[in-house]
Amino acid sequence: MTTFDDRERGYESKFAHDANLRFKADARRNRLLGEWAAGLLGKTGDDARAYALTVVTSDFEEPGYEDVVRKLAADLQGKADESEIRAKMAELTLVARRQIIDEAE
Q: What is the pTM of this model?
A: 0.84
Of 91, 104, 90, 97, the C-alpha closest to 25 is 97
Burial readout 62-84 (b: 16 or more C-beta within 10 A, e: otherwise): eeebeebbebbbebbeeebeeee
**Would you say residue 5 has pLDDT above 80?**
no
Amino acid at 6: D
All domains of the chain, ordered by start, with CATH?
3-104 (1.10.790.20)
| Element of type H or E holding 85 | helix 82-104
Q: Are 67 and 61 in contact (CB under 8 A)?
A: yes
**Per-residue pLDDT tens digits for 39-92:** 999 999 999 999 999 999 998 888 888 999 999 999 999 999 999 999 999 999
**Would you say residue 7 has pLDDT above 80?**
no
